[in-house]
Amino acid sequence: MKLRDLAGVDSDSEVTGFAIDHRKVVQGSVFGAFKGAVFNGEDFIALAIERGAVAVVARSEASVPDVPRLSDTEPRRLFAQLASRFYGPYPETVVAVTGTNGKTSTVEMTRQLWRMAGHRSASIGTLGVTTSDDQVKTGLTTPDIVTFLNNMAGLKRLGISHVAYEASSHGLDQHRAEGVPLKAAAFTNFSRDHLDYHPSMDAYFEAKMRLFDELLPQDGTAVVWTDDPKSAEVIERVRRRGIALMTVGRAGETIQLVEQQPTALGQKLVIRFAEGTYRLALPLIGAYQASNVLVAAGLAMATGSKFETVFSAMQRLAPVRGRLERAVISRAGAPVYIDYAHTPDALEAAIAALRPHVSNRLITVFGAGGDRDQGKRPEMGEVAARLSDVVIVTDDNPRGEDPATIRAAVLAGAPGAKEIGGRREAIAEAIRIAVDGDIILVAGKGHETGQIIGTGANERVLPFDDALVARECAA
């Protein structure tokens, strides 16, 4: 594709690809020079041109010698728009999910519902790119825009017609998920997270709302979980734009959750759709899983699936890796559950999900990540101490911080908790003290398979899988 055809500039240069890392520039690349948290891409413009960049997307103030400069008040947005024209075509049916918690489960459940309805489907997010046949890790909930568009185009070439992806606040703020037309978008919930990046909760919320204010087209459909304090504001924004709306939850007008009762290996739901009432045996433990399932059901229906087809498929959903995943049952008879919860709200939801199944004690093992929002650490400690019978505070990706300092901040909110720095030792201790009737929750890592130590050039990722370690300790 000629640069003049792609960007409307006077140049016959052939565009071969896009790059935001100057080291990945090859002859014919369009280079995106953006200011980041650590590096300023504008400092590498000359090097990118030396490597063969035929154009640079940057601020109008940036110095760009010898090749066209493509400028915009939001250069990341412009870069995404140009890249989307280059990499397409994309799958016909694409939906996005935003919210603090539940995104991973919701996109994966949407993928499963589509698959059971006969569609070739995929999900993109924290777990990577998942299809019925494969799973490839990308390292980020919302990968960079070039990776995102490449993945989408690659899925189209594989014959995938339906894709659900996680729209994180970072990704939305940095225009990392642009350019692929959406059929629907969903909101799960909103609570404290990522305040190491966003200057305030309001800024964090506004970043998420770009999905509904800007990216979801006028002919798309918004699916909103009704039972979050922010749900009413999301619904109001959608209605102001005149976009089709589906609401699900206890106050849902599309699908209403009428009753919810835990069972040994899942839960029974009573839901209302149109004029009918339906009893659903959901094979997923945890009360909050009902919200993920109903949002996924809304997305499936918003993209053409009939309720009867979706209802049947919901009863056959498989658990999502690292989301209240039962890793093992100890020799004493205590099940060990692994969950990705790493915010106060998510930790509270995970504990609340397990509590109805506990006949004796709930033992919670968790930590907090280094170089991340420090204010949530004592809040997580308070939640764990208030809702658990035994709390063990341990390490969880300390990165560049002193692990003992992180644990101390968590323990400030949970003064009666045990402190065991080594994560393997903490899990082993929980299993050692557990008896029949206890349940163990190991929170924080979920699907992750590494412990991150150090930062920058000194960063190391030590192999660590909570589920695998729990099984080894139980054995």
On whether 444 is known to bind a ligand per the annotation, the reply is yes
**Which of 263, 288, 284 is closest to 353 using CA atoms?**
288
Q: In this structure, are residues 322 and 227 in contact, taking their beta carbons and an 8 Å threshold? A: no
**Which of 136, 201, 147, 138 is closest to 174 using CA atoms?**
147
472 vs 31: CA distance, rounded Å: 47
On whether 405 is known to bind a ligand per the annotation, the reply is no
On whether 101 is known to bind a ligand per the annotation, the reply is yes
**Which of 363, 284, 296, 367 is closest to 323 using CA atoms?**
284
On whether 359 is known to bind a ligand per the annotation, the reply is no
Using DSSP's 3-state secondary structure scheme, residue 94 falls into strand
Other Cβ atoms within 10 Å of 270 Cβ, number? 14
Other Cβ atoms within 10 Å of 341 Cβ, number? 29
Report the DSSP pairing between strands 17-19 and 29-32: parallel
Cα R_g (the chain), whole angstroms? 23
Q: In this structure, are residues 354 and 267 in contact, taking their beta carbons and an 8 Å threshold? A: no
Give φ, ψ of 379 to 5 degrees: -65, -40
Residues forming beta bridges with residue 29, ordered by sequence position? 17
**Which of 89, 160, 165, 96 is closest to 126 using CA atoms?**
165
Task: Give the amino acid at 346.
Answer: A
On whether 103 is known to bind a ligand per the annotation, the reply is yes
Cα distances from 122 to residues 91, 100, 185, 221, 342, in angstroms, run: 10, 21, 16, 19, 25
On whether 99 is known to bind a ligand per the annotation, the reply is yes
On whether 176 is known to bind a ligand per the annotation, the reply is yes
288 vs 326: CA distance, rounded Å: 16
On whether 189 is known to bind a ligand per the annotation, the reply is no
On whether 85 is known to bind a ligand per the annotation, the reply is no
On whether 100 is known to bind a ligand per the annotation, the reply is yes
Q: In this structure, are residues 86 and 155 in contact, taking their beta carbons and an 8 Å threshold? A: no
**Which of 411, 343, 423 is closest to 382 using CA atoms?**
411
On whether 214 is known to bind a ligand per the annotation, the reply is no
**Which of 131, 133, 114, 113 is closest to 122 using CA atoms?**
131
Q: In this structure, are residues 348 and 286 in contact, taking their beta carbons and an 8 Å threshold? A: no
Give φ, ψ of 202 to 5 degrees: -65, -45
On whether 399 is known to bind a ligand per the annotation, the reply is yes
On whether 448 is known to bind a ligand per the annotation, the reply is yes
Binding residues: 99-105, 141-142, 168, 174, 176, 372, 396-399, 444, 448
Binding residues for meso-2,6-diaminopimelate: 372, 396-399, 444, 448
Binding residues for ATP: 99-105
